[in-house]
Amino acid sequence: MTDMFHLGWFLNFVADEWNGNWGDGGRDFTGDFYVEMAKDLERAKFDYVLIEDKLMVSTAYGGTMEHDLKHGVNPKHDPVPLAVLMAAATTRLGVVPTMSTSFYPPFLLARLCSTIDHIARGRFGWNVVTSGEDRSAQNFGMDKLYEHDERYAMASEYLEVVSKLWESWEPDAIERDYMTGTYANYKKVHTIDFEGKYYKSRGPLNTAPSPQYRPTIAQAGASPPGRELAAQHADTIVAPANGVEAMKAYRDDIHARMKANGRDPAHCKLLYLVTPIVADTHEEALAKQERWFNDPLYIEYMLAEISSITEIDFAQFDLDEPVPPDVSTNGERGALESFLARGKGKTLRQIVTGSGLSGNVPFVGTPAEVADEMGAVMDEVGGDGYLITSPVMRLNRRYVTEITDGLVPELQKRGLVRSEYTTTMLRDHLREF
């Protein structure tokens, strides 16, 4: 029998669907749409919602901002305040915004995480990224990003300093002793006097120790240094779903690296990024996929998106030729690999239209069919679950409902996902099974 697996959702704080049949969104950025969605996810007993982030408007596709803005790749708002609103509107769902080690001063980030973990009562996670775009670096006064591997060396030291800051208050430092009028015992609060190669911080942090003590750590390492960082620190990984074999190999590699770092592999849950398409009948689901992926707007949108995260101008390639084999990036290497892995020898059009955003493991059918397939794939891979994201990047309530009220109940019936929360903190949800 297949073990239970975990569910998360991967989204961006961008305009919700505004120009399709089932959405009139993108009118404001109050966060209301996504806060409602978080409540839906909690009703469906998801472990967490992860909010991706970027710090630039891209000009990679075609050399101008036109396509980025036309398709609403941007505006993309700060995920942190949204995570706070989601946490305040829910009681069990984990909230995991993305923050970049390249752009947040460590003390600021450590403090922000601690503050939000209190507000979320122990349901806060930090998705650790190093950022992959020179354009972002230029918004922060640099000419370009640090080289890929150096970024990971910096991120590793960064995690060391913020961990020390979180640990600068002993768990029982707050005494609230009425007799002596003592709130916190200064003997249990320590400076860290950290001096590394890249970062320096005296400490201590000036927040109370948070419910999880250190936030849950999410990471999406695909390259070797990225995997190593994830293996050292991550409680959960945003993993590419590049086919059952690759998924299994990736998981084995992470587990081996965790063991080498003295960690129990059960302490990191790999959630594979997938884009299920469900409908009342199998034919309808296939038709939906066909309609979505072959929309000329979708093709342009997808190419603008992949250009943005890799800073490679995909407008330069012929849609009906294979992508040249020598493309490489200093940006998100994993994203590029996943994209290209969809079809060696296939044309660019075929790659985009054939399987959607991360559809190397396509789940298309009725809720019951897709639930069976998801169970079968997990059975082969060995664990630990899926991160669902919209196949067309854009979200509307209809898609959310099809997952939360269609697919998830089928998964629950099969005993594949949780039907109840038994714990209150995010790390405990992840370690429950």
Spatial distance between the Cα atoms of 323 and 319, rounded to a whole number of angstroms: 9
Torsion of CA 401, 402, 408, 409, to 10 degrees: 90
Is 28 a binder of another protein (CB under 8 A)?
A: yes
Which residues in the 31-50 window bind another protein by CB under 8 A?
31
Residue 49 C-beta: closest distance to another protein, Å: 16
In order of 289, 392, 402, the CA distances from 353 in angstroms are 9, 11, 22
Q: Binding mask 47-66 vs another protein (x if CB under 8 A, - otherwise)?
A: -------xxxx------xxx
DSSP states of 390-415: -TTS---HHHHHIIIIIIHHHHHHTT
Residue 216 C-beta: closest distance to another protein, Å: 17
Candidates 36, 167, 184, 409: give the one binding another protein (CB under 8 A).
Answer: 184
Q: Which of 130, 142, 145, 192 is nearest to 167 (CA)?
A: 192
Nearer to another protein, 199 or 421 (CB): 199
Which residues in the 196-255 window bind another protein by CB under 8 A?
199-208, 210
Is 163 a binder of another protein (CB under 8 A)?
A: no
Q: Which of 33, 30, 43, 38 is nearest to 9 (CA)?
A: 38
Is 401 a binder of another protein (CB under 8 A)?
A: no
Number of other CB atoms surrounding residue 186 within 10 Å: 9
Nearer to another protein, 115 or 412 (CB): 115
Which residues in the 101-140 window bind another protein by CB under 8 A?
103-105, 107-108, 111-112, 114-116, 118-119, 121, 135, 138-140
Give residue for tokens 């992959």.
Answer: 132
Residue 180 C-beta: closest distance to another protein, Å: 8
Which residues in the 315-354 window bind another protein by CB under 8 A?
none
DSSP states of 327-344: ---SS-HHHHHHHHHT-T
**Angle of helix 32-43 versus helix 79-89 axis, rounded to 10:** 50
Is 18 a binder of another protein (CB under 8 A)?
A: yes
Torsion of CA 179, 181, 183, 185, to 10 degrees: -80
Residue 264 C-beta: closest distance to another protein, Å: 30
Candidates 3, 22, 43, 88: give the one binding another protein (CB under 8 A).
Answer: 88
Q: Binding mask 273-312 vs another protein (x if CB under 8 A, - otherwise)?
A: ------------------------x---------------
